[in-house]
Amino acid sequence: MNKLEQTYQDFENLRRNYSNLGAMDTEPRVISEIIIEGFIIGNPRPIPHSSDGWQLYSSEEGSQEAARALQVSMTNLIKVLGQASFNDVRKFAEQNGFDYRT
């Protein structure tokens, strides 16, 4: 597993860790897909920093902590994506169902 795949797996594991706060729900998944695809195609999107931004269960204790952890992990993933070769990014996108064509 290369660094890009490992970093993405780390992000997904983090989402699983916060599933009790909605991190595995459709909304956070779509938000993360929009951020990743946007970066890949050259249309970067902001990374949410709040539980509302990630559409977590914001009234639940720990949701802000979860949002911060997701923000840090996604920021790291975007950094690793930016350092990866075109071929690695293309392979990553194909394997994970992300659109990489502009």
* Domain-located, residue 102: no
- pLDDT-derived band at 66 (thresholds 50, 70, 90) equals very high
Cβ contact 12:96 at 8 Å: no
- CA–chain centroid gap for 87, Å, is 20
39 falls within a domain: yes
CB atoms within 10 A of CB 58: 16
How far is the C-alpha of 32 from the C-alpha of 35, rounded, in Å? 5
- Specify if 101 maps to a domain: no
Q: Residue 48 domain-assigned?
A: yes
The answer to the question of residue 20 being in a domain is yes
Neighbours of 96 (CB within 10 A): 12
Residue range 2-26, pLDDT digits in tens: 999 999 999 999 999 999 999 999 9
What pLDDT is attached to residue 8? 98
Is residue 92 one of the residues assigned to a domain? yes
38 found inside a domain? yes
For range 74-83, the mean pLDDT: 98
* Domain interval for residue 82: 3-96
Q: Position of tokens 């996108």?
A: 93
Query: How many Å apart are CA 56 and CA 61, to the nearest integer?
Result: 11
Query: What's the structural domain count of the chain?
Result: 1
Q: Residue 94 above 90 pLDDT?
A: yes
